[in-house]
Chain A
């Protein structure tokens, strides 16, 4: 969590663009990453990330902090935006179809610190994620990539913490099997 986050959020709620800028700088990376791993290309991830922060800025005056970090709210917006994206843009295309897109196209627009091994990791994760439900993907990405706490994930998904733990366990079991198969090949 960002230092002085509450203060920044309060100031941004009053229309302080600079405070929102600080929040943007801090959260754009995890939100972009979360979206990138759920859509077919880096460009789409950029567009959706922009939409998420635009919505956050526009509706921030109505944001009510209820004991959860600001990031939970952002992830919730991001998740809904991705769902809308699939619903409106490609009504007859499933998430699985998107995940079939070649990794080169998928990675376009994204930047990696160590290009080679990350590209391999992304390709492996993409393949393995095909076996998971959308909810399981969300939990895995939030828990192991973004390292969110279970209570935060529960808040974002509107679920009980116990239910999130069950989803996480099942998803991890599936992934272990998938990665096992991939490594055997």
Chain B
């Protein structure tokens, strides 16, 4: 049976396309232009193939890391510095400072008034 199947399949080799179709098709195809050849570059290989390329990549990586590090440090510091220039916060701080000064002055005057009174009493005696 296996041979029968294979024989039938093998007999299909006698199928051929129409000669007229083949001639027309071939003429149409070769009349067309081919696509431009794509330049496939394996970037990983290309970058590490040469000594100078390796140096450039290494140097660029260091520069990049340094730039990112410095810029992130500056950015974090700038944020706290900027917040210290906040007018409202400064005004609030100043107000609180003033109140504290007044309270300290009041306490001082209160204490000194008492001391003066005591001193005057002493003198009057």
- The interface residues of chain B lying within 8 Å CB-to-CB of A154 are none
Interface of A is mostly: helix
- The interface residues of chain A lying within 8 Å CB-to-CB of B36 are 61
B50 contacts partner chain A, Cβ-Cβ < 8 Å: no
Minimum CB–CB distance for B115 against chain A, Å: 103
Within 8 A of A (CB), among B15-72: 15-19, 21-22, 25-26, 28-30, 32, 34-38
- The interface residues of chain A lying within 8 Å CB-to-CB of B17 are 28-29, 32, 45-46, 49, 110-111
Minimum CB–CB distance for A83 against chain B, Å: 21
A to B contact number (C-beta, < 8 Å): 118
Interface of B is mostly: helix
A117 to B15, CA, bound (A): 11
- The interface residues of chain B lying within 8 Å CB-to-CB of A20 are 29-30
Chain A residues with a Cβ closer than 8 Å to the other chain, count: 49
B5 contacts partner chain A, Cβ-Cβ < 8 Å: yes
- The interface residues of chain B lying within 8 Å CB-to-CB of A29 are 16-17
Task: Tell me which of A17, A25, A145, A175 contacts B10 (CB under 8 A).
Answer: A145
By the criterion CB–CB under 8 Å, are A50 and B29 in contact? Answer: yes
B13 contacts partner chain A, Cβ-Cβ < 8 Å: yes
A158 contacts partner chain B, Cβ-Cβ < 8 Å: no
A129 to B58, CA, bound (A): 60
- The interface residues of chain A lying within 8 Å CB-to-CB of B4 are 179, 183
By the criterion CB–CB under 8 Å, are A15 and B26 in contact? Answer: no
A61 to B34, CA, bound (A): 7
Nearest CB in chain A to that of B7: its residue: A121
Within 8 A of B (CB), among A10-41: 15, 17, 20-21, 24-25, 28-29, 32-33, 36-37
- The interface residues of chain B lying within 8 Å CB-to-CB of A44 are none
By the criterion CB–CB under 8 Å, are A24 and B5 in contact? Answer: no
Task: Tell me which of A42, A53, A118 contacts B29 (CB under 8 A).
Answer: A53
B2 contacts partner chain A, Cβ-Cβ < 8 Å: yes
Residues of B whose CB lies within 8 Å of any CB of A are 1-2, 4-6, 8-19, 21-22, 25-26, 28-30, 32, 34-38
